[in-house]
């Protein structure tokens, strides 16, 4: 299934049970609970729920369309639950450009930058979505954004991590469209069920990895105005601190946690900067503005918003490379953007990675035998507990890790 990205059209599809057999056929439907509710309210209830059981190729929904200004917008917990149970999330078929434009516009309204009459109506809707969140919780939340290829083998570790913190987080998953359609997620995936955002193919080292990151950020921004922190994670990643430790650490500063180094004398940094052409990054991104760091971050809402509002840096970082492996935009783009718009706010990656004895640019992957209490303890206490997450762990390490959750989440 090529062409999702090339055509600029995110996949439309639907998670549903196959009529023929017990197996789940996963088709990806693009929806936010937010948009789904808007759609439902705009078009009447409850017959429109049928929409979630068939798989239209495209849906034309105007996020801000308001066909009946006078109708109150009910906070109907049952409707929300029903939408979730069907696994539908992110019900939209917008191009990336449209998605990002809408997320930026919604943010303008939330921040009071747009106070037109139309905007105040939209704000009322956003606020009633807020009240629609489980029992009206207004807590700041962490958006856990999983950038995966073919599954979440360590999901049971995450389930334990999330347990008891339902009001304090949201989950978003970006996967390989082919795989999602073929296998996908099942209700058995617990908290991960129904959390997939419209996804498109990605290749290692290519700009489309960053497109996936921007897509995750835009969906998470739109989905819940209470999302205050945005963590990017991979399928081989585990949490190595308990939920409250991470929440508390993020809540006590206004900074983001992302690697953003400046290496004025590094040949590699210079090679990467020049990889699109000797002067291709000029004038927007002089070498002195160019930053280098790990892809894995947890950033504040204002920084996530800076990414989707950005029109200065992304057009440069998405330029084609002279050689595919030369640019690595996921190690430069967000790092450069945040450090330039908000200097000194980056404070290093939250994710422990081991480069011990590795080749080919892949970090070390811990197997069963290496996954010992000693290793976990060393990761947890490294640099006074600065790491929240660790990668990479092999799927086989799952049971060993589950056996150690007391230590992991001490």
Ligand X SMILES: *[C@@H]1O[C@H](CO)[C@@H](O)[C@H](O)[C@H]1NC(C)=O
Rounded CA separation 216/218 (Å): 6
CB of residue 163 to ligand X, shortest distance in Å:
14
CB of residue 22 to ligand X, shortest distance in Å:
29
In 135-237, which ranges are continuous DSSP H helix? Answer: 155-162, 177-182, 207-223
- Mapping DSSP onto H, E and C, the string for 356-405 reads CCCCCCCCCCECCCCCCHHHHHHHHHHHHCCCCEEECECHHHHHHHHCCH
The smaller minimum CB distance to ligand X, of residues 58 and 399, is found at: 399
At 360, give phi and psi (nearest 5°).
70, 15
Provide the CB-side half-sphere exposure for 288 (13 A, CA): 1
Name the one residue in this structure whose structure tokens are 């943010």: 107
* Dihedral angle, C-alpha 55, 101, 148, 238, nearest 10 °: -130
CB of residue 281 to ligand X, shortest distance in Å:
30
Rounded CA separation 253/256 (Å): 8
Burial (Cβ within 10 Å: 0-12, 13-18, ≥19) of residue 142: buried
The smaller minimum CB distance to ligand X, of residues 41 and 119, is found at: 119
Provide CB contacts within 8 A for 14, sequence distance 6+: 27, 28, 29, 52, 53, 54, 55, 87, 88
The smaller minimum CB distance to ligand X, of residues 31 and 106, is found at: 106
CB of residue 272 to ligand X, shortest distance in Å:
27
The smaller minimum CB distance to ligand X, of residues 114 and 340, is found at: 114
At 336, give phi and psi (nearest 5°).
-65, -45
CB of residue 244 to ligand X, shortest distance in Å:
8
Q: Are 352 and 391 within 8 A, CB to CB? A: yes
Give the binding site for ligand X (CB under 6 A). Answer: 64, 77, 105, 108-109, 114-116, 118-119, 122, 134-135, 247-248, 251, 354, 356-357, 399-400, 403
The smaller minimum CB distance to ligand X, of residues 2 and 374, is found at: 374
The smaller minimum CB distance to ligand X, of residues 7 and 120, is found at: 120
Rounded CA separation 41/38 (Å): 5
Rounded CA separation 108/111 (Å): 5
* 3 state SS of 255: coil
CB of residue 331 to ligand X, shortest distance in Å:
22
The smaller minimum CB distance to ligand X, of residues 186 and 370, is found at: 370
With vertex at residue 352, the alpha carbon angle to CA 235 and CA 309, rounded to the nearest 5 degrees, is 70
The smaller minimum CB distance to ligand X, of residues 134 and 315, is found at: 134
CB of residue 390 to ligand X, shortest distance in Å:
12
Name the one residue in this structure whose structure tokens are 């004895």: 357
CB of residue 235 to ligand X, shortest distance in Å:
20
The smaller minimum CB distance to ligand X, of residues 79 and 197, is found at: 79
CB of residue 193 to ligand X, shortest distance in Å:
19
């Amino acid at each position: 299934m090529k062409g999702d990205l090339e055509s600029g059209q995110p996949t439309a599809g639907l998670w549903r049970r196959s009529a023929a057999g017990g197996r789940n056929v996963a088709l990806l439907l693009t929806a936010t609970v937010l948009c789904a509710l808007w759609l439902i309210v705009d078009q009447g209830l409850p017959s429109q729920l049928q929409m979630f059981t068939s798989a239209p190729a495209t849906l034309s929904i105007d996020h801000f369309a308001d066909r009946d200004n006078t109708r109150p917008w009910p906070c109907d917990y049952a409707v929300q639950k029903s939408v979730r149970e069907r696994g539908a999330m992110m019900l939209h078929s917008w191009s990336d450009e449209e998605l990002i434009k809408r997320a930026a516009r919604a943010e303008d309204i939330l921040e009071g930058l747009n106070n037109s009459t139309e905007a105040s109506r939209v704000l009322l809707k956003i606020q009633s979505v807020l009240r629609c969140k489980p029992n009206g919780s207004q807590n700041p939340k962490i958006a856990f954004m999983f950038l995966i290829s073919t599954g979440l083998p360590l999901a049971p570790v995450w389930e334990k991590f999330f347990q008891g913190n339902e009001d304090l987080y949201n989950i978003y998953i970006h996967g390989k469209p082919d795989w999602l359609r073929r296998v996908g997620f099942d209700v058995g995936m617990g908290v991960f069920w129904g959390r997939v955002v419209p996804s498109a193919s990605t290749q290692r080292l290519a700009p489309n990895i960053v497109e996936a990151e921007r897509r995750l950020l835009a969906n998470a921004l739109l989905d819940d105005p209470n999302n205050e922190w945005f963590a990017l994670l991979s399928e081989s990643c585990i949490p190595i601190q308990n939920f409250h430790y991470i929440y508390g650490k993020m809540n006590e500063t206004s900074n983001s946690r992302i690697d953003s180094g400046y290496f004025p004398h590094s040949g590699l940094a210079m090679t990467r900067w020049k990889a699109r052409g000797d002067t291709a990054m000029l004038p927007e991104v002089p070498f002195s503005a160019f930053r280098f760091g790990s892809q894995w971050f947890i950033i504040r809402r204002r920084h996530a918003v800076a990414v989707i509002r950005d029109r200065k840096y992304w057009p440069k970082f998405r330029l084609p490379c002279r050689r595919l492996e030369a640019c690595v935009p996921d190690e430069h783009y967000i790092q450069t953007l945040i450090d330039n718009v908000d200097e000194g706010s980056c404070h290093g990656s939250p994710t422990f990675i081991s480069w011990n004895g590795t080749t080919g640019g892949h970090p070390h992957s811990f197997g069963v035998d290496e996954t010992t209490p000693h290793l976990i303890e060393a990761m947890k206490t490294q640099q006074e507990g600065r790491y929240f997450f660790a990668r990479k762990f092999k799927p086989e390490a799952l049971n060993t890790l589950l056996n150690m959750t007391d230590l992991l989440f001490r």
